Amino acid sequence: MEERDRDLDPAVKLSDRSTAVIDIGSNSVRLVVFDGPQRVPLPKFNEKVLCGLGKELGTTGRLGDKAMADALSALRRYAALVHHMGIERVMVAATAAVREAENGSEFVSAIEQECDLNVQVLSGRQEARYSGLGVLSGMPHANGLAGDLGGGSLELVEISDFRINETATLPLGALRLSYMDMPEKKLRKFINKKFGKADWLQDLSGRDFYAVGGAWRVLARYHIFKNNHPLNIIHNYRLTLAEMTELIDEILGMSIQELYDANGIPKSRANTMHTAAIIMQELLTITAPNNIFFSGNGLREGMLFSELKKSVRRRDPLLDACRDMAAAEGRFAEHGEEIFAWLLDLLSDVDEKGRRLTLAAATLSDIAWWANSDYRAAQAFRRIFRAPFNGIGHRGRAMVALSVYARYKGDFSGPATDDSLRLLTDEEAKDALTIGLALRLSHTLSGGTVGILSMTQLETNSTTITLKIPKSLSVLVGHHVVNQFEALGANLEVEPVIEFIPD
């Protein structure tokens, strides 16, 4: 074996900025270590244990002895891990089960004594607020109703204009209701009686619904598996009201054994799926949203998000994440802004959403420089298409990933792109190729050097696309530049013209 001076090895430790969030929920106890607080924190460690603290809440009003023992065992492990990771910022929150149980305060005392953790028992209002902030952290333009279905309660939050408005916390947890063992008719009556306490729900008809919580996310996962959707990412997965209604009817028509055997449904969730579906069905009957979006962010992300200054919260999570990725993996991270400015005339008919996706693609257009040239396109595509981005839907992911693929490949050939193309219309795919070909040209013309593109101009009209270059830079117009510019013109179905202008 090679001998080496280990003092020269790079230090391997978590960032001093890391924050640990321990969520003592009604169904599970979870530890997530984030590399923040920052606008787009990434989970560096994530572990949960299903303890079922809220299982007996609806029948005895207490936390079960076994559930508490299982939770304490997990929390002792989490406390030890956080200590050895050297994380100073630890946020510990207990939700509905601990808040409502007769023996909840005793359990909190045991946690603080045995684990040396400072537990914050959230009020219903706090729990709802953090859930809403979690949705806004990942979907900053969310406008409608957010619902976080936990094991012990349901938090409802009206969100709009990046603000938390009305809130309600209702004792409608999927685990709690499932173990109360009510006949379906009685269960629906019970649910609707509780919804009646949030009379503001009736004013939200026609706005979107944002579903949070493991029991509801399983509905999305099942739909993804069932329809062979090309991207197995729940965050920002969208269903229309008609699609959601059909899905709920299908779930309610399945037996527990069929749910247990179904692809996409974890076996640990099968027993609560009917209850979760009924709660969703009754809520949608009242609110009649246009679309249902599933959020991967919830209470834990909301707690971290609440720590940020308001000016930081309002930053675009997608573009922040793209800049971070480009800085870590690209050679010319600052080049993306210049490329985007160079493409503006090409984007004259593109809406704000399309321009934002183009800026994201331009920012990420150099992240695969390190790979073998035969694999750069596929590596960049997979990295972007499956990245843990916020603030972008599945079709947007496809647009950005395909654009960067074409930047390296010059077209969409190869098996890597097949699934993503299914998400786009022919027109959208053509637009992604146009952006990709323009990115390809920008890198070839400039060699990745900041400052060259700003001295040139790209102009388009209905019949031509013109590349204007100062005579002093004419030497840069080589064979590859000409070929790539002609390919861009061909995709736009206009004549490509290179014009040398005075310096």
The full DSSP string for 248-273 is: HHHHHTS-HHHHHHSTTS-GGGGGGH
Please give the CATH topology (third level) of the domain spanning 19-122.
Nucleotidyltransferase; domain 5 (3.30.420)
Give the mean pLDDT of 274-285.
98
Residue 122 in contact with residue 130, Cβ under 8 Å?
yes
Q: What percent of the chain has pLDDT over 70?
A: 97
Which residues of the chain does CATH 3.30.420.150 include?
Answer: 125-302
Q: Could you tell me what percent of the chain has a pLDDT over 90?
A: 90
Tokens matching residue 75: 């929390």
Residue 271, burial from CB neighbour count under 10 angstroms (0-12, 13-18, 19+): middle
Task: Provide mean pLDDT across the span 215-239.
Answer: 96
Rounded Cα gap, residues 203 and 168, in angstroms: 14
> How many CB atoms are located within 10 Å of the residue 349 CB?
7
Count of CB atoms situated within 10 Å of the CB of 468: 14
pLDDT averaged over every residue in the chain? 93
* pLDDT for 94 beyond 90: yes
Q: Which of 209, 215, 351 is nearest to 276 (CA)?
A: 215
Asked if residue 2 has pLDDT above 70, the reply is no
Q: Which of 463, 163, 115 is nearest to 310 (CA)?
A: 163
pLDDT value, residue 347: 92
Mean pLDDT in residue range 168-183: 95
Residues of the chain with CATH 3.30.420.40: 19-122
Per-residue pLDDT reduced to its tens digit, 349-369: 999 999 999 999 999 999 999
Strand 464-470 relative to strand 43-50, pairing = unpaired
> How far is 218 from 224, CA to CA, in rounded Å?
10
- pLDDT, one tens digit per residue, over 260-269 is 999 999 999 9
Out of 3.30.420.150, 3.20.20.70, 3.40.190.10, 3.40.50.300, which CATH number does the structure's domain 125-302 have?
A: 3.30.420.150
- Contacts of range 480-485, beta carbons closer than 8 Å, 24 or more positions apart: 480/444, 481/441, 481/444, 481/445, 484/410, 484/437, 484/440, 484/441, 484/444, 485/441
d(CA 311, CA 132): 18
Q: Decide: 497 and 467 in contact? Cβ < 8 Å.
A: yes
Tell me the CA end-to-end span of the chain in Å, nearest whole number.
Answer: 61
Q: Higher-confidence residue: 13 or 93?
A: 93
Q: Where in the chain is the domain with CATH 1.10.3210.10?
A: 316-501
Residue 135 to residue 302: CA distance in whole angstroms: 7
Return the SS3 of 196: coil
List, for residues 3-48, the tens digit of each pLDDT value.
Answer: 544 443 444 444 468 999 999 999 999 999 998 778 888 899 999 9
Assigned CATH for 316-501: 1.10.3210.10
CA distance 186 to 315: 46
User: What is the structure's pLDDT at 5?
Assistant: 43
pLDDT tens sequence across 429-484: 999 999 999 999 999 999 988 999 999 999 999 999 999 999 999 999 999 999 99
Query: Per residue in 290-311, pLDDT tens?
Result: 999 999 999 999 999 999 999 9
Predicted local distance difference test score (pLDDT) of residue 445: 96
For residue 33, give both structure tokens: 């270590």
